[in-house]
Structures are given as structure tokens and as C-alpha cells.
Amino acid sequence: MNFTPHITGIGYCGMDYLCRVPYVPHDDKVELIESLIQGGGPCATAIVAAARLGADAAFCGAVGDDARGEQILRGFDDENVDTRNVKVRRGAESPAGFCWIDQTSGKRSIAWTRGTVKPLGPREINPALIARSHVLHLDGHQTRAALAAAKLARAHGVVVSIDAGTLVPDIEKLLAQCDLIIASEKFAARYTGEATPRSALKKLFADSCRFAAVTLGRKGSVGFDGKRFFTCPPFDVTVVDTTGAGDVYHGAFAFAYATGRPWTECMRFATVVAALKCTRFGGRTGIPSLKTTQSFMRKA
């Protein structure tokens, strides 16, 4: 690959505390199979996926000056993600997620916290970083800063993508500034009030939007370019852990789009990357390289 896309993310980053269990207990106890502490967060993991695929990646967010914050930054550094625009808040507790993964299905349950970190403000955004990016990826968090960055990005011809997964205040304003809107099935249904992904897509797709999609887990995904619907089936892999699969899908889709692939290829590429991630325990452990992804796609 001769072209290196510049992908910048603004959103939530935290530490994930994961455990794989025979079943998720309710008012019960269970001995865990294995555990892992690893960086997480929707936009953060998407940016790590883009970096592992070969993008020049940067992340903008906020952490505390605690041990957890140091771990979050170290996780980015290990993946060659630029963290010069991550703000470290003095005396603040960094965000975290606590994840239970069912051994049989690979499905996960998550409880998360923002900690006590003050969100990014619009003035803390680096205009030069945004302007030189090919894609700006958002997850709905850091909303005021994300709105300012999205407007700046579009003024410079930078494509804005969003992982629409959380109903945060002013999400409708943020969606209106996005070129690529990819929502989870639950978000699409809750936000639009529509019963089917296709009807939800018609509402999610805005006049200024280029492409909208809904991810459907084991059912694949469906996309819409304002005229046509596109479907992408899932790929058959041995699922160990679905944590972070959606996040990885977004990072891979942004990478594929930035490198000039058509919609169907963007969806297929992102689906493969997310599927391969699910073959290993942890939200980031199994994210494949570009070479591994391409090898799998040739054989699929």
C-alpha cells in the first residue's frame, strides 16, 4: 500500500477489565476462565484498529493523571497512535469498563464509567491535526469538542464518520455533521423509532450524508447511499469474544474508505477485520494486520 491514510479519532477511551466465564452469573458466583486488562472505548479501539491496519492514527480525548490513565496512554503508544492531543486532567479518575464474556456464545455484558475526567472543550481541539486528516472518526462522546471538530473537518474537506451507538445529548446535531453514519442495530431502532434496519437507515441518512449503515452482529450489516441498499453477510469464524467488534468495524471501514474502496468493499473489509478480532479474547487482542486481513479475504 503506497498511500497512508491519516485517521483521527475524538471520543471515549478507558481501561477494560475483562473476564471470560462459563456463564454470566446473576445473584451467583462463578470461577473465571481467564482475565485481561486492556485499553478500550468505542473510538479509541477503532483508532487502534486503523493503526494496526497501517493508518497514520491519532486520538483526541481526556484521561486522569492516575495509574489507569497512564495505562490508557501506554496502550495507545504500543500501537503507534499519536496521543499528543489527549488531555491529562489532574486529580481525576480515568474512565473504565468492566466486561463479562460468556464462554459458550462469546457475547459480552459491559458496565462502564466516565470516571471524573472533565470532557474536552472545543478550544482544546488542534485545528491543524483535524485539517490534515483524511477521516475524522467520532463516537458521540466528548460531544461539544466533537461538534466543533466535525464542523472544522467539513470546512477542510475532511470526511467525518461516526459510531452511533450511544444516545448522548445533542447526538442529532452531531449526526447532521457526519458523512459516514454507522449505527448499531439497537441505536438505530431507538433513535429512529423504526422497526427494521432498512427503514431506520432512511431516517439516519441525511442530505449531507454520503453513506449510512447498520451493523447487525451475527447477521452482518446493511448500508444505504441514498439510492441503493447494500448488504454484507457475516464471515464464519470461531467466536471467542465479541467485545469491541463494532468498534473495530468502524476503524476498518474508515481505513477502507480512506484508501478508495467502494461501499460494498468497505463493508466486506470491515466485516472481515471485525470477525477476525472475535477469534481472540479481548477487544483489541485479535485485531488483524492488513496482510492478515487480505490473506483471509483471498481465501474466503
pLDDT at 69 over 80: yes
Question: What pLDDT sits at residue 208?
Answer: 80
Residue 297 domain-assigned (yes or no): no
Q: At residue 300, does pLDDT exceed 90?
A: no
DSSP 236: -
* Whole-number percent of the chain with pLDDT over 70: 100
Assess whether pLDDT exceeds 90 at residue 87. Answer: yes
Computed over every residue of the chain, the mean pLDDT equals: 96
Are 210 and 182 a contacting pair, CB within 8 Å?
no
Give the pLDDT confidence of 9-59 residue by residue, as tens digits: 999 999 999 999 999 998 999 999 999 999 999 999 999 999 999 999 999
Q: Is residue 299 part of a domain?
A: no
Q: How confident is the model at residue 299 (pLDDT cuts 50, 70, 90)?
A: confident
The CA distances from residue 257 to 41, 112, 264, 270, in Å, are 22, 30, 10, 10
Q: Kindly tell me if the per-residue pLDDT of 207 is higher than 90.
A: no
Q: Mean of the pLDDT values across residues 100-106? A: 93
Whether the per-residue pLDDT at 1 is higher than 70: the answer is no
Q: Is residue 296 one of the residues assigned to a domain?
A: no
Give the model's confidence band at 129: pLDDT under 50 very low, under 70 low, under 90 confident, else very high: very high
Cell 469491541 belongs to: 244
Is the pLDDT score of 218 beyond 90? no
294 found inside a domain: no
Name the residue range of residue 232's domain.
Answer: 6-286
pLDDT at 235 over 80: yes
Number of domains in the chain: 1
| Spatial contact of 86 and 124, defined as CB atoms under 8 Å apart | no
On the CB side of 147, how many CA atoms lie within 13 Å of its CA?
13
Do the domain assignments include residue 298? no
Give the closest residue to 53 by CA, choosing from 80, 73, 26.
Answer: 80
Mean pLDDT for 119-132 is 97
CATH of the domain at 159: 3.40.1190.20
Does residue 37 fall inside a structural domain?
A: yes
Residue 291 in any domain: the answer is no
Query: Please, are residues 47 and 58 in contact by the beta-carbon 8 Å criterion?
Result: yes
Residue 200 lies in a domain: yes
* pLDDT recorded at residue 54: 97
* Average pLDDT of the residues in 111-119: 96
Q: Which of 249, 299, 216, 197 is nearest to 48 (CA)?
A: 249
Over residues 89-112, the mean pLDDT reads 95
Q: Concatenated DSSP letters for 132-184?
A: T-SEEEE-S-SHHHHHHHHHHHHHTT-EEEEEE-S--TTHHHHHTT-SEEEEE
Determine the longest span between alpha carbons in the chain, in angstroms.
Answer: 55
What average pLDDT does this structure show over 249-266?
98
Mean per-residue pLDDT, 60-69: 98
Question: Are β-strands 96-102 and 135-138 bridged in parallel, bridged antiparallel, or unpaired?
Answer: unpaired
**In b/e form, how buried is each residue of 178-212, taking b as 16+ CB within 10 angstroms?**
bbbbbbbbebbbebbebeebeebbeebbbeebbbb
